[in-house]
Amino acid sequence: MKYFFSVFVFIALSLPVSSLAVLEGIYHPPEKKPVDSELTVQVGDLAPDFTLPCICGEDISLSDFRGRKNVMLSFIPAAWTPVCSDQWPGYNIARHFFDQHDTIILGISVDNLPTLHAWVKAMGGLWFPVLSDFWPHGGLAGELGVLRADGTAERAVLLIDKSGKIVFIHVEDINKRPPLELLVNAMKLLP
């Protein structure tokens, strides 16, 4: 009985308090240079195809959506950091904007899959796929010109229409979050 009690105490202390501590105890990086990269693509270009592993367990390619969905690539610098931890969860209650424009978000960072998986779970889950650009490190971010010198991605958004053409690019100050209305207005540019 005492052992069951010990196990209970162990679990009781671990689970609910840990989930609060997980969001409270995240790393607060110092303020960084707003933008530290140079785009290699521009509006009007065909977006390069890519394949990245998803925390959902599959590999996802941009070409999977050709002819079916508009795609918004949402790059964030790093998991477990304040601005990032409160960017993607916001899109959970903005999904109807994306659905209205037949658009899917692909969330991307250079973190590895286990890190992304744990972080997304701690945030309560997301409606869109989250992809790891870990290996080759920042391969896609670098190809698009949104890889910073420190190896993190910019806080960047690229909107790609169903034909694969880039219709909108925005690289935000890494210390801030792009306003939601910026993304919603961007989707109005879609054909």
Partner 1 sequence: MLALNNKEQAVYGNELKISLRTGFRLMSLLVFLGVFASMPCGAQEFQAETFPDNPLPVSDLDDEHLAYLGIDSKVQSFSAADIDADIVVVQVFSMYCPICQREAEAVNRMYHLKESRELDMVVRMIGIAPGNSAFEVGVFRDEYAISFPLFPDPDYQWHKILGEVGTPYFIVFSGRDAGVKWTHKGAFADPESFLDRVMHK
- Classify burial at 158, counting beta carbons within 10 Å of its beta carbon; exposed 0-12, middle 13-18, buried 19 or more: buried
> Smallest distance from the beta carbon of 14 to partner 1, in angstroms?
5
Q: Kindly identify the residues of this chain, within the stretch 132-191, that bind partner 1 according to CB under 8 A.
A: 177, 179-181, 184
Interface residue with partner 1, options 34, 48, 114, 124 (CB under 8 A): 124
**Does 7 interact with partner 1 (rule: CB under 8 A)?**
yes
Distance CA 20, CA 30 (A): 23
Treating both helix axes as pointing N-terminal to C-terminal, what angle do 2-24 and 113-122 enclose, rounded to 10 degrees? 100
67: three-class secondary structure by DSSP: coil
DSSP-based helix, strand, coil % in the chain, nearest 5:
35, 20, 45
Extract the tokens encoding 13.
């202390």
Site string for partner 1, 78-97 (x = CB under 8 A): --------xx-xx-xxx---
- Cβ-based nearer residue to partner 1, 93 or 189: 93
**Does 100 interact with partner 1 (rule: CB under 8 A)?**
no
**Does 103 interact with partner 1 (rule: CB under 8 A)?**
no
Residue span binding partner 1 (CB under 8 A) among the ranges 6-14, 57-65, 109-117, 162-170? 6-14
One-character DSSP codes across 110-168: SS-HHHHHHHHHHTT--SS-EEE-TTTTTHHHHHHT-B-TTSPBPEEEEEE-TTSBEEE
Site string for partner 1, 25-64 (x = CB under 8 A): x--x------------------------------------
Q: How many CB atoms lie within 10 A of CB 163?
A: 12
Interface residue with partner 1, options 18, 40, 51, 61 (CB under 8 A): 18
Query: Which residues form the interface with partner 1 (CB under 8 A)?
Result: 2-3, 6-7, 9-10, 13-14, 17-18, 20-21, 23-25, 28, 86-87, 89-90, 92-94, 123-124, 177, 179-181, 184
